[in-house]
Structure 1
Amino acid sequence: MLSTAHRYFLEVVRTGSIKEAALRLHVAPSAISRQIAKLEDNTGALLFHRRPHGMVLTRPGELLADHTRRMSLESERVLRDIHSLGERGATTIRIGSNEAVARNLLPKAICLYRDHHADVAFQVQVASPLVIAQRLRDKIIDIGIAFNLAAHEGIDVRYERASPVRAIMAPHHPLSSRKRLSLATLKGHPIALTDSGTTVRLLFDSWQAADDESAFDVAFSSNSSSMIRSIVEAGHAVTLAGAITLNDALAAGSLVAIPIADAAFGTRTLQVQTATDARLSALSEAFLPVLIAELERRQAAA
């Protein structure tokens, strides 16, 4: 659905060469040169620096490239939805989430929704909050569910609840009887944390950087919250997490959640997000209240 000029332009951006772009598109280099010149005439700006080693975007070219990529992604989304409607009378709702929310919260909401909309398909992508925000802006996903510490440009918050970070441990851990603890109390105890990019890791690293005393024993680190949970349930370490994604284990007594006294760990929220300039399908809009109701139910139980 992109114009020929925009398609040719993007291929030159990808390859950095008119000749290489022509080979990939199976057209003459002169045809690509004409389309680039046409875009430059229309925009009134030079889009590339012609260098001996290839084509390098100018600042106006970078702006047009970003815009054209978004157009391309949106075109792909529309075509997928049209194809789904033609093939199955269905559409796809694309969601971005962290692993714990995707594992513990989303399945119930999705299944409840599909009880009434059986033709709707779901695609769930697991990612960090910053990646979710970018994928929303790029129209790669429709809805984001993310823990956040601050607002993101170009993102609308459709639902938000406090989700403070707590110390999570097995009930037989030496600290499990505490009613409240400072993060410094965890020094001397093995800790298991998710990798960089998560809100928990950002808070922990920030707190540790400001601390002049001895370091923590971060004995386990992984991009899998499932692995971290297994280690903690076995009593080998303490982790930091929100209670909302662990309330099944907390209710069963296999884990204990203890509030952290340090104020920074109470600032985190759980958000349902959409892109500010996005137009959700009617089916995606109808899914939002089902999702929010499930989050409210889980929050009440946490």
Structure 2
Amino acid sequence: MKTKIWVGCALILLLLVYSLVSLYPDWLWFENLGFSSVFRTMILTRFGFGAAIWIFLILIITINLHVARRLSPAPGPDSPFKEGTGYAAQIGLSVKTLNILFLALILIASFVLASKGAVKWDLVLRYLYQGTFESRDPIFGRDMGFYVFALPFYLFIRSGLLVLFLFAAGLTIIWYLKNGALQIVGEITQVEGQPPTLPKFTVVPGVGRHLGFLAGILVLLLAWGYQLKIYGLLYSTQGPAFGASFTDVHVKVWTYRALIVISAAFAGLLFYNAFRPAVSGSH
């Protein structure tokens, strides 16, 4: 445990030093022009937003891995990831080393994602200090300020959450594979004159519910994306002129709304399956 903590602290310190060094030339430029206050606002917003993304991502990953750890079976004599045997030994790494590498992957990848998100710091300020144009669009009745200040921010948040939860889900699946709670049995085989045989997945009871819950969140984010696409039709270039065409208003809008309902219903089904009481004798 101490080794993991030291590795984590060293990686965090290294990444912070790299960030500060990369910002030093910008600080000199703003200082020379007399806009140091602008630079401070930019840095505080950028680092604050990046830190919020990083903390949120680490929180999501921590919760998911905590649940995955509780659902994973205890290592037994037949576990493919038992210390000294199985896949870990085949690649010449101990389970402890694999866990350290897994922690390093989480810290580095989450830092990269947070850094990418922090670049959009201006969207945060525009959203927080948005104004109104006192003019509404003729189709949805939204103030024009919504499309200038709020919609870009919502699009970024939606796509960012989609990436964050996909990343967290991927790490959770890797964790289940590492601990044997999710196993791939068999391999793809092709016999002449017969359809190919695909490998089968075996899961520990409860793992499917966890993954289904994550899938439900992803489906809800897709539904939100369809709603945002409805507003994006005002920027459509598919018609004879720039903006929403007759087809966009009378066909695509209702298509997106139907997809929203279908996605919400599917997400509800996934959530119900994740939280419904287990039937005795079933998996």
TM-score norm. by structure 1 comes to 0.22
Richer in helix (by share): 2
Richer in strand (by share): 1
Structure with more contact order per residue of length (Cα contacts < 8 Å, sep ≥ 6):
1
TM-score norm. by structure 2 comes to 0.23
